[in-house]
Amino acid sequence: MGNEQETQRSFTISQNGTRIEGISSNIDDRTMHELYMWPFANAIKAGVVSAMCSYNRLNQTYTCESSAVLKEILREELGFRGYIMSDWFATHSGAKSINAGLDLNMPGAYNAETLATGESYWGGNITTMVQAGSVSEERIDEMVRRIMTPYFYFGQDRESYPTVDPSLAYSFAAWSNVLDYLPTPIPKSRDVRGNHHQLIRKIGAEASVLLKNVNSTLPLKAPLNIGVFGNDAASSTDGLTFTKQFEIGTLDIGAGAGTVRHTYLVSPLEAIQARAKKFGGRVQYVLHNAITAAGDFSSLFPIPDVCLVFLNTFAAENMDRQTYEADWNSTLVVENVASMCPNTIVVTHSAGINSMPWANNVNVKAIIAAHLPGQESGNSIVDVLWGDVNPSGRLPYSIAKNPKDYDIPIVNLTESQVTSPTAWQDDFVEGQMIDYRKLDSAGIEPLFEFGFGLSYTTFGMKSNLKVKQLNSHLTSKPDPSHEVQPGGNPDLWEPILRVTTTVTNTGSKEGATVPQLYVSMPQGSTPEGTPLQVLRGFEKIFLKPGKSQDVTFELLRRDVSYWNTSFQSWVIPKGRFSFGAGFSSRDIVAKADLELDLVDG
C-alpha cells in the first residue's frame, strides 16, 4: 500500500556508508480509507489467500513491519484470513516484522548476494527469537497455519495437482545471465497456451480506446497506399523478452518482474502488410523515429493515402517515468508526418497516461490508445483499424491538455539534499483529489476525460434516472457489533440503493458501450476534501443497431459513505445525494437526486 513510486522504494547506502531509508508515503487516515484501501477490500472480499507488503515505508514505517497496516487494517478492519508475504527482499527485520503480522519472508535471504548462503533475518534466527521470548510460539503456529491452510484448501498436497513448470528457474536464470550456474540438460517448458491467442487478440482489440475519429476516418476501407511510421510499428530487434528499454520494436507488455517470454509477437507493420496484401495495397514505412523526426521522407513515393503512426512509452518495475510524453521524440514524429500527410492516424502503446500536444492537429484525423495489448498486438490493432472489431475501451484516467493540470511529480532527491537517513518523504497533500477528482474540483477542462471512449456507432441514454432505496431501516453507520468478515463489516457490503437507466444503440453498427454511474455526496454534510463526484458503477453492454437495454447499478452502503476520522467509522451523510449516469465523467446524460431515509436522523 502506498507504493506510488519506484525511486528510492527501498533503502540505499550512501557514499559515506550511511543507510538511507526507503521513501515514506505519508497518507492521512481518510484518504487511506476512501481512496487507497478500496481495492484491497475488494480483493479480500473476493477470497484471496495471500497479500504482499510493499518495499516502501508507509507513514514512517516499512510496510512489512507495520502493525498499523498488517494487523489493524488488513486483519482487524478488513478481516483478511490468509497469509501476508513480503515483496522480494522487502523484509528488514526479524522479530519486529513477525510480530507486526508478516507471515512469509520472500525469498528469505537478506538480499540477492546472500541467496546462495541462505543468510536471513529469519531462518534459523527464528529459533533464537522464540528462545529469547521476542517471538511467541503461538505466533509461529499462526504463521504456519495461515500459510498451509490454502495449501490444503486448494488440494496442493494431492498427486493430481499440477506441478511447477520445471523450466521456471532456468527462465529466471537466463533473465539474470546466470544460466551457466544451473545443471544441464535444460528442461522443456510446459505449454499451456491452448487457444489463448484468440482471446488475447479479442481483448486487445475490444479494449482499444478510440479517442478521436474525424468524419469517420476509421474504420479504413481499402486504401491502396498506406504509410506506417514509428519504431513501435516494427518487430523487436533485441529479442522477445522486455527487461529494459529498446529503440526498435512494438511494446505490448510492461517490463520487470511481471514481464513474460514471448513465443511470438505480431508487430503492427507485419499485420498491416498481411491485411494490405488481401486487397493489393502498397505499404511504405519509415521505422526509425530519428529519420521521421528529421523530416526525411525521401524514401516515400507517392505520398500515402493514409499514414499510421505508432508510438510507445516504456514502463518497468524499478524505474519511474520522467515525462508524460511518449518516447523517442514522439511529438516531432507526429507533427512531421501530419505536415506531410493530411490523413494521419496515431496509435499509442503505453502503460498509462500520455500527453498529446498534437491531438488537435487538423491533419491528425484519428487517435487510438491501445495500451499494452499482448502478443497479438498487430492483429488486434488491424482488427480495429479496418472495423472487424468495434473498439469499446474507456479511459481509466484523464488526459489533460497540459500535464501540469494534474501532475503530482515523483520525489527525487539528490545526495546533497539527503541530510538524514529518513530524508525521503512523500506527503500525499492532494488527499483524494487525483485525476478527474482534481480536474472537477479545480474546474479544469481535460483533453480527454476519465471514462471517455468513442465507437464506430452511437449510443443514447434516457434522461429519467430511477433511484430506489432498498433498506427501510437504514442507519447512518454500520452496526459495530457485527463480526468482521473478509472485506470488513458485512453491513458495508449490503445493497441499499438501486439505480436504473436505459441505453440505446442509436447508430447503424453493432457495438459495446460502458454506461457509468457517478455519485455526489450531500454538500455541507461531508468534510472538506470530499470530491464533487466519484465513480460508483459501470457496466459494459453490447447492442445491435436500434436495440435498447436497461442497466441497473446496485450501490452498497460503502458507496454512499465517507470515513469519519473522529468516529473511526464509515458514515452515510445526511442530505440529498446526486446521481449521474452517462458515458464519461464529463458526459452525464441522466440525473436524479435522493435524500436517504435514515432511521437515526
Which residues carry out catalysis? 87
d(C-alpha 540, C-alpha 229), whole Å? 33
Spatial contact of 371 and 332, defined as CB atoms under 8 Å apart: no
Q: Answer whether 500's CB lies under 8 Å from 466's CB.
A: yes
Cα–Cα distance between 232 and 309 in angstroms, integer?
A: 8
Residue with cell 500525499: 428
What Rg do the C-alpha atoms of the chain give, in angstroms?
27
Report d(CA 247, CA 259) in Å as an integer.
18
* Cβ contact 38:73 at 8 Å: no
Buried b (16+ CB within 10 A) or exposed e, 435-468: bbbbbbeeeeebbbbbbbbbbbbebebbeebebe
Find out whether 560 and 519 touch, Cβ atoms under 8 Å. Answer: yes
- CA 504 to the chain's CA centroid: 30
DSSP 426-468: EE-TTTT--THHHHHHHTPPPSB-TT--B-SS-EEE-SB-EEE
Q: Please tell me whether residue 226 adopts helix, strand or coil conformation.
A: strand
Q: Strands 57-58 and 24-26, how do they pair?
A: parallel
Q: 3-state SS string over 1-46?
A: CCCCCCCCCCCEECCCCCEECCCEEECCHHHHHHHHCHHHHHHHHH
575: CB partners within 8 A, 6+ apart? 522, 523, 524, 525, 595
- Residue 331's contacts (CB-CB under 8 Å, 6 or more residues apart) are 325, 357, 358
Which are the contacts of 97, defined by CB distance < 8 A and separation ≥ 6?
Answer: 62, 64, 65, 86, 91, 105, 121
CB 309 within 8 A of CB 346: yes
End-to-end Cα separation, the chain, in angstroms: 36
Residue among 316, 310, 535, 299 nearest 432 (CA)? 535
Give the Cα separation of 53 and 156 in Å (integer).
24
What SS3 state is found at 118? Answer: coil
